[in-house]
Chain A
């Protein structure tokens, strides 16, 4: 177990291990995504209150879940890189950041598309929307800091500190926004009482959730492989690989 983890920490082994894993992840992502979209968009029954437009949750909810999950992955990898000085952890953290920002953006856009027919407006300063927006700002700050520092190791460590500060702050921001919203109750949004979700609607959601998770795993590995090649371009094993394949 430990020797396996130690091996993974070396970029060369990670590169080959990820290369073997990617086809499996790719195909299972594709299958789950297709299954989830088909059951969600075609098989699942129409909602009696929201009609067909509720179906956007099959993209929106997994994206929103992933936006939080990826931040935790990023901060966790950053902390590992900071504490044990493992290069691979830095690479994973930096590969995850743009993906997390993309999931957050997707959650915001789909939420706004859903809000237009449901609430009659593209945007509402609702607590969840606002904290999602702030999460996007945190991601963008992380990416901006990363691209501003030239030295890769310094950039990774600085970003890890920022991500950890963000982790302490996310719950505070979340609850303060929620609290702010209950006080600023402006135009009252008629909230749909959450009906216990029917299983026929829940199953596609769960499938989509796993599809998104796998998709994230897939893309993070692909990005990490690219990053490894760029950082290790002067090492012998990369040169050897390139000359052998050409």
Chain B
């Protein structure tokens, strides 16, 4: 029986979403981490409103970055261990599109909850309400880039027994542009200035990652599974 590319893509998306929903701790743990890390900053630096306000964009984004990174391993790890990944590579469809389905599923279960939670953390850190739309917009544009670029790192390290720390070494430097534009956009919005430039940059990064990353992920998976 031959399935069409579209149905293969959606089958993978649906399968990954179902698997993620069955093991809920994989979704909730990064979120808890996101909240806890953010709440450490008032304790460690200062609970003063002014200090926290200036820190807020950076702190929220760094926490989001780390939370995403911790959840990355789940994209390919369990599939690698039970052999499902090899089956995926044997399929007649282009692998880059199939892995894109997996990355989108990862973003839906980790990125979207982050976006939903972020305003709460913004309030905790006294982020001005003017900056809230900017926070949401940057997260909506930035977290898919994190998932896409991170998936390249996971695909490269999935065959290794201890890939965790190595993954962060590979992936974090590549996250820097997203971090710069996103936290800058939020700070600019808090100062009541236009953030169109930053958002365009983030959108450009997303377009670039969306078009190029799947090929790199597919190539990396083929190498890792050889």
Contact = CB atoms under 8 A, between A and B. Distances in A.
Nearest to B152: A165
Contacts of B226: 154
Interface in B152-166: 152, 156-157, 159-160, 162-163, 166
Interface string B185-220: 000100000000000010001001000100010011
B156 A158 contact: yes
Given A144-B166, A148-B166, A177-B176, A162 B181 contact: no
A137 B173 contact: yes
A165 B181 CA distance: 20
A190 interface: no
Contact of B205 (A134, A161, A172, A180): A172
B116 interface: no
A3 B60 CA distance: 58
A172 B177 CA distance: 7
A164 B223 CA distance: 14
A183 interface: yes
Contacts of A180: 180, 184
A164 B156 CA distance: 13
A145 interface: yes
B169 interface: yes
Interface residues of A, number: 27
Contacts of B166: 144-145, 148
Contacts of A173: 173-174, 176-177
A141 B172 CA distance: 10
B224 A176 contact: no
A161 B220 CA distance: 7
Contacts, number: 74
Contacts of B160: 148-149
A240 to B, nearest CB: 31
B186 to A, nearest CB: 13
Contact of A134 (B159, B173, B184): B173
B224 A158 contact: yes
A179 interface: yes
B109 interface: no
Interface in A173-187: 173, 176-177, 179-180, 183
A145 B154 CA distance: 12
B112 interface: no
Contacts of A183: 184, 188
Contacts of B156: 145, 158, 161-162
B223 A154 contact: yes
A138 interface: yes
Contact of A145 (B157, B173, B181): B157
Nearest to A157: B223
Given A148-B160, A154-B224, A176 B173 contact: no
Interface centre among B152, B176, B212, B219 (most CB of A within 10 A): B176
A201 interface: no
Contacts of A162: 152, 156, 170
A169 interface: yes
Contacts of B159: 149, 154
A140 interface: yes
Nearest to B212: A168
A173 B163 CA distance: 24
Given A144-B166, A145-B156, A161-B152, A169 B174 contact: yes
Interface in A143-173: 144-145, 148-149, 154, 157-158, 161-162, 164-166, 168-169, 172-173
22 contacts: A137-B169, A138-B173, A140-B169, A141-B169, A148-B163, A154-B159, A154-B224, A154-B226, A157-B223, A158-B223, A161-B220, A161-B223, A162-B152, A162-B156, A168-B208, A169-B173, A172-B208, A173-B176, A173-B177, A176-B181, A180-B180, A180-B184
Given A82-B219, A158-B220, A165-B216, 5 more contacts: A137-B172, A158-B224, A161-B152, A165-B174, A166-B174
Interface of B: 149, 152, 156-157, 159-160, 162-163, 166, 169-170, 172-174, 176-177, 180-181, 184, 188, 201, 205, 208, 212, 216, 219-220, 223-224, 226
Interface of A: 82, 134, 137-138, 140-141, 144-145, 148-149, 154, 157-158, 161-162, 164-166, 168-169, 172-173, 176-177, 179-180, 183
